[in-house]
């Protein structure tokens, strides 16, 4: 029981970190910019965001949603995505427990959250995310018995 609480906390913390990266993916992938480099910058003043100011959710609260350098407002969406990812990862853990299904479910939850937000912003689903998603879906399918291989293509066709 205590182990499960600990793992639930890990799932939340890991979700916060992944959510922070999803923010970068959501912003940069549609623009065709690398999600690894360069470091995140304030869109207003261009100041590089220091590691200490880049802690998921916490930095946003401590800085009261403003850039440390210029005081420009930072969108509440960044901490919201981080918190949502943490909540979704905990939900995956609560649903599937200590199993391989938990990381697989969390992976696709994160991918779908990024795709949903990019779709909302730009009305596109970038191939660079969807194709690897399809490949991973086929590859990881044996690990998740509830996701039958033939249901994937069937579902995709139904959405057309
Ligand atoms: Zn700034």
Domains of the chain, by residue range, sit at 2-158
Report CA(58)–ligand 1 centroid distance (Å). 18
More confident residue, 35 or 91: 91
* 15-24, 39-48, 93-102, 112-121: range with lowest mean pLDDT: 39-48
Q: List C-alpha distances in Å: 16 to 69, 98, 160.
A: 24, 20, 33
Question: What is the maximal distance between C-alpha atoms in the chain?
Answer: 53
What is the distance in A from the centroid of ligand 1 to the CA of 47?
Answer: 6
How far is residue 128's CA from residue 61's CA, in Å, rounded to a whole number? 33
Distance 74 CA to ligand 1 centre (A): 9
Helix or strand (DSSP H, E) at 153: helix 151-158
DSSP H stretches of helix in 29-149: 58-62, 77-96, 101-122, 127-140
pLDDT score at 39: 84
Q: Summarize the confidence of residues 118-135 as an average pLDDT.
A: 94
Which whole number is the average pLDDT over 25-54? 90
Q: How many whole angstroms from 59 Cα to the centroid of ligand 1? A: 14
CA of 66 to the centre of ligand 1 (A): 8
Tell me how far the alpha carbon of residue 5 lies from the centroid of ligand 1, in angstroms: 38
> Residue 46 C-alpha to ligand 1 middle, in angstroms?
6
pLDDT digits (tens, 9 = 90+) for 42-82: 988 989 998 899 999 999 999 999 999 999 999 999 999 99
**130 has pLDDT over 80:** yes
Residues 29-50, mean pLDDT to the nearest whole number: 89
Alpha-carbon distance values, 41 to 83, 116, 147 (Å): 21, 24, 40
pLDDT the model gives residue 160: 55
7 C-alpha vs ligand 1 centroid, how far in Å?
36
> pTM value?
0.88
- Run of H or E residues at 7: helix 2-28
Q: Identify the pLDDT of residue 22.
A: 97
Average pLDDT, the chain: 91
């Amino acid at each position: 029981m205590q182990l499960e609480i600990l793992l639930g906390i890990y799932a939340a913390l890991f979700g916060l970190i992944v959510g922070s990266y999803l923010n970068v993916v959501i912003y940069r992938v549609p623009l065709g910019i690398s999600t690894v480099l360069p470091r995140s910058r304030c869109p207003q003043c261009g100041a590089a965001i220091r590691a200490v100011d880049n802690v998921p959710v916490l930095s946003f609260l401590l800085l009261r949603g403003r850039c440390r350098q210029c005081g420009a407002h930072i969108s509440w969406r960044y901490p919201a995505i981080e918190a949502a990812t943490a909540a979704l990862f905990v939900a995956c853990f609560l649903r599937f427990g200590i199993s391989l299904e938990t990381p697989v479910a969390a992976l696709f939850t994160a991918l779908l959250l990024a795709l949903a937000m990019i779709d909302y912003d730009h009305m596109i689903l970038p191939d660079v995310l969807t194709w690897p998603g399809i490949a991973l879906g086929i590859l990881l399918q044996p690990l998740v018995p509830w996701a039958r291989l033939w249901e994937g293509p069937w579902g995709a066709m139904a959405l057309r």
